[in-house]
Amino acid sequence: MKYLSTRAATDSTERKRFCEILLEGLAPDGGLYLPESYPQVSDATLTRWRTVYHEQGYAELAFEVLSLFIDDIPADDLRALCEKTYTAAVFGTGEIVPLRHLENGLWLEALSNGPTLAFKDMAMQLLGNLFEYELARRGEELNILGATSGDTGSAAEYAMRGKKGVRVFMTSPYGRMSPFQQAQMFSLMDENIHNIAVDGVFDDCQDMVKAVSNDLAFKRKYKIGTVNSINWARLMAQVVYYFAGYFQATKTNAEQVSFAVPSGNFGNVCAGHVARMMGLPIDNLVVATNENDVLDEFFRTGVYRVRGSADTHETSSPSMDISKASNFERFVFDLLGRDGARVKALFDDALAQDGRFDLGADPAFGQAATRYGFESGKSTHADRLATIKATFERFGMMIDTHTADAVKVARQHLQPGVPMIVLETALPIKFAATIVEALGREPDRPAKFEGIEALPKRVTRMAADADAVKNYIAQHCP
């Protein structure tokens, strides 16, 4: 399997292999990598995978799916990496992504039982093992520099802790993450993990990361890399749980299911799109947003309008608070018949000049729903509170704020006879304040996180200054 950029000219023959793009972020032309074509899963293969999943487990299914996208890691090595990643010890349950029934036709797929209690562990844990493997093979090192407002940073740190050849420098806005999230990150004592609390907001952190990455000499000298959600390997790892959810909800390949996905940067639901393109019988992909409804607006109207920081809302489902959706370009590439020049014009020119583009009048836009199965909806703070309360009262099940957004929107798109699987993206303990607001009680806390807030913390406070972070990195790289 070879990969191309979403901004590649139609006649371009530039292609890369998996391990080349693994450690890279954006393509040099500013686009995102996608497989040259989507591998097709036949009915016979789907039947075989169903048995593989039920009899051999999630890791073996992951190996099967990943093998279609990776041809430059020997099969035995890839299988070992999957087996090392998807274990009951790491994900708290042998099923890895158990499906639970809510009500008639509505299911919840639990993706949040990994080390940081958010679905980002599903991909990040694999990424940690892939990075360590590939860096050792090359005899190289990598310094991951990132900015986080919560889930991404902790998932990256728990994936990379103790890994050979990798250091993590994670910036976060001082005092702005939930106490639980701060405790998760700052209590890590691993030598290769560096927490940097910045006096500023998340955008300041992101600006610092950009400034450092734009200093090409520094970037090269210190081997600076990223693990953000545009990394293809993360998206690819997420494809697996769409198959696993399907095999749990159905008995035969003749059945279809739909998925409802709490969405921010469009990484999670884009993996569903890839699974659907591979031939997984998915009826609809329901994109759920919170008040930051960039994506819902697009799927309703064809207008993609990036928000400024002034009209990006701080909500109680903060991991969906986005001003633009960094993975969305991947879907637009497919929607426009893989016309890289046109994608480049939209994302490079139109967005830069006008902050928006409008596909509403383009015949291709209608295909987002008819051919690709996309639907969307929006949820507000009041919806979240009501959904969390109703779900707890009716089913005795506590769901987090992001998952609640998707449950709310999923109910509006239920079709008779088609199971709707809501992806659970975090556990409620991560967003305790809103749970208390909805239920009048604290969320359940997994035993291993008892007393985490009282643990010693390892964090360096810093002004919002790119030079300060450069100095820090230089001092901590031998």
Please, which residue, 120 or 324, has the CB nearer to ligand PLP? 120
Please, which residue, 122 or 278, has the CB nearer to ligand PLP? 122
- What is the pairing mode between strands 99-103 and 106-110? antiparallel
Residues in the chain, how many?
A: 478
CA distance 199 to 205: 9
CA distance 143 to 166: 6
Q: How many residues make contact with ligand PLP (CB under 6 A)?
A: 16
- Per CB under 6 A, which region of 34-42, 199-207, 260-268, 369-377 contacts ligand PLP? 260-268
Please, which residue, 7 or 234, has the CB nearer to ligand PLP? 234
Closest distance between ligand PLP and the C-beta of residue 254, in Å? 30
Closest distance between ligand PLP and the C-beta of residue 265, in Å? 3
Please, which residue, 151 or 329, has the CB nearer to ligand PLP? 151
Residues 6+ apart with CB under 8 A from 456: 187, 189
120 is catalytic: yes
Exactly one of 114, 146, 267, 340 binds ligand PLP (CB under 6 A); that residue is 267
Please, which residue, 52 or 438, has the CB nearer to ligand PLP? 438
Answer yes or no: are the C-beta atoms of 195 and 460 closer than 8 Å.
yes
Binding status of residue 262 toward ligand PLP by CB under 6 A: yes
Neighbouring C-alpha atoms within 13 Å toward the C-beta of 383: 21
Closest distance between ligand PLP and the C-beta of residue 409, in Å? 13
Please, which residue, 73 or 122, has the CB nearer to ligand PLP? 122
- Per CB under 6 A, which region of 55-63, 78-86, 212-220, 259-267 contacts ligand PLP? 259-267
Exactly one of 330, 344, 378, 402 binds ligand PLP (CB under 6 A); that residue is 402
Binding status of residue 6 toward ligand PLP by CB under 6 A: no
Q: Which of 2, 16, 120, 219 is catalytic?
A: 120
Binding status of residue 229 toward ligand PLP by CB under 6 A: yes
Exactly one of 376, 425, 429, 462 binds ligand PLP (CB under 6 A); that residue is 425
CA distance 104 to 388: 18
Beta bridge partners of 418: 415
- Per CB under 6 A, which region of 92-100, 121-129, 263-271, 299-307 contacts ligand PLP? 263-271
Closest distance between ligand PLP and the C-beta of residue 338, in Å? 22
Exactly one of 27, 59, 320, 464 binds ligand PLP (CB under 6 A); that residue is 320
The pattern of x and - marking residues 92 through 131 that bind ligand PLP according to CB under 6 A reads: --------------------------x-x-----------
Closest distance between ligand PLP and the C-beta of residue 263, in Å? 4
The pattern of x and - marking residues 137 through 176 that bind ligand PLP according to CB under 6 A reads: --------------x-------------------------
Closest distance between ligand PLP and the C-beta of residue 282, in Å? 17
Exactly one of 264, 340, 373, 377 binds ligand PLP (CB under 6 A); that residue is 264
Neighbouring C-alpha atoms within 13 Å toward the C-beta of 451: 2
Is the dihedral angle over the CA atoms 265, 198, 402, 315 positive or is it negative? negative
- Per CB under 6 A, which region of 22-30, 40-48, 266-274, 391-399 contacts ligand PLP? 266-274
Please, which residue, 173 or 267, has the CB nearer to ligand PLP? 267
The pattern of x and - marking residues 331 through 370 that bind ligand PLP according to CB under 6 A reads: ----------------------------------------
Closest distance between ligand PLP and the C-beta of residue 404, in Å? 11
Catalytic residues: 120
Binding site for ligand PLP (CB under 6 A): 118, 120, 151, 229, 262-268, 319-320, 402, 425-426
